[in-house]
Structure 1
Amino acid sequence: MANRKLYRILKKIKQEQPAVRALSDEELSGKTGEFRMRIAQGASADSLLPEAFAVVCEADRRILGMEPYDCQILGGVALHYGYLAEMNTGEGKTLTATLPLYLNALTGKSTILVTANDYLAERDAKEMGPVYEFLGITVRSGVRQEEEGKTHNAWKRQIYNADIVYTTHSTLGFDYLMNNLVSSAEDRFMREFYYVIIDEADMVLMDAATMPLVISGAPRVQSNLYEIADFFVTTLQEDRDYIKEENSVWLTDEGVAYAERYFRINGFYEAENFELNRHVTLALKAHFTMERNKDYVVTEKGEISLLDNSTGRVLPGMKLRGGIHQALETKEKVQVTQENRSVASITYQNLFLLFPRMSGMSGTIADAKRELRKIYKKKVAVIPPHKPLQRVDQKDLFFKTAEQQYEEAVREVLERHETGQPVLVMTSTIADTQLVSHALIEKQVPHSVLNANNAYWEAQIIKEAGQKGIVTVSTGMAGRGTDIRLGDGVAELGGLAVIGIGRMGNIRVERQARGRAGRQGDPGCSQFFVSLEDDAVSAVGEKVLERYVDKDRRISKGHLRRLINGTQKVQEERSAAGRQSTVDYDKVLKRQRTMMYDVRNRLLDGGSLEQQLILQLAWEGVERFLKEHPHPAAGEINRYMLDNLSYRLDNRFLNARHMKKKMLKKKIRFYVETVWKRKTELFSSEEELREYIRLCSLRAIDNAWVEQVDYLQQLQYVVSGLAAAQRNPVFEYHREAYDSFIRMENVIKKDIVRNVFLGQKSYGKAGEMQVLFP
Structure 2
Amino acid sequence: MGNYPQREDSREGWFDRTADKIGGFIRQYIYSGSLDDQQFIDAVNQAAEGLDALDDKGLRAQVIDLRKRLYSEGLQDKLVAESFALIREVSSRTLSMRHHNVQLYGGWAMLRGKIAEMETGEGKTLTATLPACTAALAGIPVHVVTVNDFLVARDSKWMSAIYEALGLTVGTVLEDSSTEQRQAAYACDITYCTNKQLVFDYLKDRMLLEQESRPLHLQLEGLYQGRPKTSRLLMRGLCFAIVDEADSVLIDEARTPLIISNTTKMEQEETLFQQAIHIAKQLRHKQDFNLSTSTSRIQLTDYGKAQLLTLTRGLGGVWSGTRRRDELIKQALSALHYYQKDQHYLVKDGKVQIIDESTGRVMPDRSWERGLHQMIEVKEGCAISGRQETLARISYQRFFRRYLHLAGMTGTAAEVTQELTSVYQLSVEKIPTHNPVQRKACPDFVYATERQKWRKIIDIIKDIHDEGRPLLIGAKSVQSSEHLSGLLNAENLQHQILNARQDHLESQIVSQAGRVGAITVATNMAGRGTDIELFPGVTERGGLHVLATERHDARRIDRQLFGRGARQGDPGSYQTIVSLEDDFIDNVFGDRLAKFFARRTEPLPQWLGNLIVSYAQRSAEKHHRRIRQDLLKYDDNLSDLLSFSGRGE
Q: TM-score, normalised by structure 1?
A: 0.73
The separation in 2 between residues aligned to 1:551 and 1:581, in whole angstroms, is 42
The separation in 2 between residues aligned to 1:329 and 1:46, in whole angstroms, is 57
Structure 2 counterpart of 1:128, which letter?
M
Correspondence for 2:197: 171
2:256 equivalent to 1:211: yes
Q: Which of the residues 533, 544, 562 maps onto 1:496?
A: 544
Structure 1 counterpart of 2:146, which letter?
T
Correspondence for 1:83: 114
With over 3 angstroms needed to count, the CA separation of the structure-2 counterparts of 1:403 and 1:481, relative to structure 1, is same
Correspondence for 1:640: none
The separation in 2 between residues aligned to 1:271 and 1:207, in whole angstroms, is 39
**Per-residue deviation, 1:428:** 0.8
**Per-residue deviation, 1:201:** 0.9
**Per-residue deviation, 1:571:** 1.4
Correspondence for 2:275: 228
Correspondence for 2:87: 56
Summarize the alignment of residues 643-662 of structure 1 with structure 2, pairs less than 5 Å apart: none
Deviations 1:157-192 (A, max 9, x none): 111000000111111111111222338603212111
The separation in 2 between residues aligned to 1:450 and 1:175, in whole angstroms, is 31
Correspondence for 2:246: 201
Correspondence for 1:572: 621
Summarize the alignment of residues 608-623 of structure 1 with structure 2, pairs less than 5 Å apart: none
Q: TM-score, normalised by structure 2?
A: 0.86
The separation in 2 between residues aligned to 1:458 and 1:218, in whole angstroms, is 32
Q: Which of the residues 10, 22, 38 maps onto 2:69?
A: 38
Deviations 1:120-154 (A, max 9, x none): 100100010111001000001111755xxxxx433
| 1:233/1:280 contact within 8 Å kept | yes
In structure 2, the residue corresponding to 1:251 is in which secondary structure?
Answer: strand
Structure 2 counterpart of 1:328, which letter?
I
Structure 2 counterpart of 1:162, which letter?
C
Correspondence for 1:136: 167
**Per-residue deviation, 1:238:** 3.5
**Per-residue deviation, 1:239:** 4.1
The separation in 2 between residues aligned to 1:281 and 1:144, in whole angstroms, is 34
Q: Which of the residues 184, 199, 202 maps onto 1:158?
A: 184
**Per-residue deviation, 1:261:** 4.7
The separation in 2 between residues aligned to 1:541 and 1:177, in whole angstroms, is 41
Summarize the alignment of residues 369-518 of structure 1 with structure 2, pairs less than 5 Å apart: 369-477=417-525, 480-518=528-566
Q: Which of the residues 337, 356, 370 maps onto 1:288?
A: 337
Which is further off, 222-231 or 517-526? 222-231
Structure 2 counterpart of 1:181, which letter?
M
**Per-residue deviation, 1:108:** 2.2
| 2:581/2:591 contact within 8 Å kept | no
With over 3 angstroms needed to count, the CA separation of the structure-2 counterparts of 1:241 and 1:35, relative to structure 1, is farther
Correspondence for 1:726: none
Structure 2 counterpart of 1:290, which letter?
Y
Q: Which of the residues 76, 91, 106 maps onto 2:137?
A: 106
Which is further off, 493-502 or 135-144? 135-144
Q: Which of the residues 154, 157, 162 maps onto 1:123?
A: 154
Which is further off, 418-427 or 20-29? 20-29
The separation in 1 between residues aligned to 2:504 and 2:597, in whole angstroms, is 39
| 1:478/1:509 contact within 8 Å kept | no
In structure 2, the residue corresponding to 1:384 is in which secondary structure?
Answer: coil
The separation in 1 between residues aligned to 2:424 and 2:593, in whole angstroms, is 38
Deviations 1:586-608 (A, max 9, x none): 22234456788xx7xxxxxxxxx
The separation in 2 between residues aligned to 1:175 and 1:226, in whole angstroms, is 32
User: Which structure is higher in RCO with an 8 Å CA cutoff and minimum separation 6?
Assistant: 2
The separation in 1 between residues aligned to 2:318 and 2:558, in whole angstroms, is 42
2:46 equivalent to 1:15: yes
**Per-residue deviation, 1:531:** 1.2
Deviations 1:735-758 (A, max 9, x none): xxxxxxxxxxxxxxxxxxxxxxxx
Summarize the alignment of residues 240-639 of structure 1 with structure 2, pairs less than 5 Å apart: 240-245=287-292, 246-252=294-300, 254=302, 255-264=304-313, 275-299=324-348, 301-477=349-525, 480-545=528-593, 547-548=595-596, 557=605, 558-591=607-640
Correspondence for 1:768: none
Deviations 1:510-551 (A, max 9, x none): 111111110000011111111101121112242325632557
Correspondence for 1:665: none
| 1:110/1:195 contact within 8 Å kept | yes
**Per-residue deviation, 1:360:** 1.2
| 1:122/1:144 contact within 8 Å kept | no
The separation in 2 between residues aligned to 1:581 and 1:200, in whole angstroms, is 23
Deviations 1:397-422 (A, max 9, x none): 12111111111111111111112111
| 2:353/2:366 contact within 8 Å kept | yes
With over 3 angstroms needed to count, the CA separation of the structure-2 counterparts of 1:80 and 1:190, relative to structure 1, is same
The separation in 1 between residues aligned to 2:80 and 2:369, in whole angstroms, is 44
The separation in 2 between residues aligned to 1:190 and 1:106, in whole angstroms, is 19
Structure 1 counterpart of 2:613, which letter?
I
2:60 equivalent to 1:29: yes
Correspondence for 1:639: none
**Per-residue deviation, 1:282:** 2.5
Report which of the two structures shows the higher radius of gyration computed on alpha carbons.
1
Structure 2 counterpart of 1:282, which letter?
Q
Deviations 1:291-327 (A, max 9, x none): 211111112x221011111221111222223322112
Which is further off, 586-595 or 384-393? 586-595
In structure 2, the residue corresponding to 1:428 is in which secondary structure?
Answer: coil
The separation in 2 between residues aligned to 1:385 and 1:461, in whole angstroms, is 27
| 2:318/2:324 contact within 8 Å kept | no
| 1:200/1:478 contact within 8 Å kept | no
Correspondence for 1:3: 33
Structure 1 counterpart of 2:145, which letter?
V
The separation in 2 between residues aligned to 1:210 and 1:220, in whole angstroms, is 28
More helix by share: 1
| 1:244/1:250 contact within 8 Å kept | yes
**Per-residue deviation, 1:275:** 4.9
The separation in 2 between residues aligned to 1:286 and 1:46, in whole angstroms, is 55
With over 3 angstroms needed to count, the CA separation of the structure-2 counterparts of 1:302 and 1:477, relative to structure 1, is closer
Correspondence for 2:14: none
| 1:477/1:512 contact within 8 Å kept | no
The separation in 2 between residues aligned to 1:143 and 1:219, in whole angstroms, is 26
**Per-residue deviation, 1:258:** 4.3
With over 3 angstroms needed to count, the CA separation of the structure-2 counterparts of 1:430 and 1:533, relative to structure 1, is same
In structure 2, the residue corresponding to 1:41 is in which secondary structure?
Answer: helix
**Per-residue deviation, 1:217:** 1.4
**Per-residue deviation, 1:44:** 3.4
Structure 1 counterpart of 2:189, which letter?
D
| 1:45/1:103 contact within 8 Å kept | no
Structure 1 counterpart of 2:542, which letter?
G
| 1:503/1:535 contact within 8 Å kept | no
The separation in 1 between residues aligned to 2:338 and 2:541, in whole angstroms, is 44
The separation in 2 between residues aligned to 1:407 and 1:415, in whole angstroms, is 13
| 1:532/1:564 contact within 8 Å kept | no
Structure 2 counterpart of 1:242, which letter?
F
Structure 1 unmatched runs, 5+: 147-151, 600-700, 710-774
